């Protein structure tokens, strides 16, 4: 079932912010049409109090300006509680049908001409300006859990810190009790948003060999823009 969001209301933004707490993108592990569809619903950047939405918005904005969104996506529905102000390019278009479901955008299927045009216009603007937007940074707190109480936590932390990527900097860490004699590793890291995807870091580096000899799972505890 497609995810559904209303970014034109406080309640909808709060729901979207909670959804993005443990995700870098709306669906999957790379930017897709789903992200583009929700992004285009914002007439202004989201309020700073919604830190996860702001982090996602800035990241998608940078990718769009670099024409970096190519994945097909899995489908998402965008809800709207108010009619957005029509742009000059939309004036003269026939009004939508009165059906309640017309406020929902079904993203299954091919990319629309409107989406293609929007992406092309953004790419043209960046090319004309000759300026590349400066990449933002984020501070991320990870929970890294061992297999059991016999796991060597020193080697577990070594396995984590041995992961090297451009735009990734490991920070302070500490062991936290979980229960039954088991402890987990909490570790800070700073990432360059355009270079490092936390989901990819976890799926392709921390939860595969050789690191998964010590690491059972990883969870994002906090994700904040710097």
pLDDT digits (tens, 9 = 90+) for 159-215: 999 999 999 999 999 999 988 889 999 999 999 999 999 999 999 999 999 999 999
Low-confidence ranges of the chain (pLDDT < 70): 1-2, 67-112, 126-135
In angstroms, rounded to a whole number, what is the distance separating the alpha carbons of residues 88 and 75? 28
So what's the pLDDT on residue 9? 85
In angstroms, rounded to a whole number, what is the distance separating the alpha carbons of residues 62 and 101? 31
Biggest CA–CA distance in the chain, Å, is 69
So what's the pLDDT on residue 76? 67
Helix spans in the chain (H):
10-19, 33-39, 51-65, 113-129, 153-161, 198-201
Residue 75: phi, psi to the nearest 5?
Answer: 110, 130
Give the three-state DSSP class for 17.
Answer: helix
Cβ 198 vs Cβ 191: under 8 Å: yes
Cβ 168 vs Cβ 191: under 8 Å: yes
So what's the pLDDT on residue 166? 92
So what's the pLDDT on residue 141? 92
Q: How many residues belong to the chain?
A: 226
In angstroms, rounded to a whole number, what is the distance separating the alpha carbons of residues 36 and 59? 11
Task: Tell me which residue of 193, 199, 201, 223 sits closest to 66, measured CA to CA.
Answer: 193
Cβ 202 vs Cβ 70: under 8 Å: no
Interaxial angle between packed helices 51-65 and 10-19, expressed in degrees from 0 to 180 and rounded to the nearest 10: 80
Helix spans in 40-195 (H):
51-65, 113-129, 153-161
Cβ 55 vs Cβ 193: under 8 Å: yes
């Amino acid at each position: 079932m497609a995810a559904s969001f209303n970014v034109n209301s406080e309640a909808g933004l709060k729901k979207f912010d909670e959804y993005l707490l443990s995700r870098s993108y709306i669906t999957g592990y790379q930017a897709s049409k789903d992200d583009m569809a929700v992004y285009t619903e914002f007439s202004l950047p989201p309020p700073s109090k919604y830190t996860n939405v702001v982090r996602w918005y800035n990241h998608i904005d940078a990718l769009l300006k670099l024409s970096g969104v190519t994945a097909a996506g899995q489908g998402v529905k965008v809800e709207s509680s108010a009619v957005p102000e029509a742009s000059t390019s939309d004036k003269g278009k026939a009004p939508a049908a009165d059906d309640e479901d017309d406020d929902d955008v079904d993203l299954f299927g091919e990319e629309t001409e409107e989406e293609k045009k929007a992406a092309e216009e953004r790419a043209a603007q960046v090319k004309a300006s000759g300026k590349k937007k400066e990449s933002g940074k984020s501070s991320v707190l990870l929970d890294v859990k061992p297999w059991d109480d016999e796991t060597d936590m020193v080697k577990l932390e070594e396995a984590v810190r041995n992961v090297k990527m451009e735009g990734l900097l490991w920070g302070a860490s500490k062991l936290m009790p979980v229960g039954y004699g088991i402890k987990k590793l909490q570790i800070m890291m700073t990432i360059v948003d355009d270079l490092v995807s936390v989901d990819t870091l976890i799926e392709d580096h921390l939860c595969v060999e050789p690191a998964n000899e010590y690491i059972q799972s990883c969870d994002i505890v906090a994700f904040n823009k710097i």
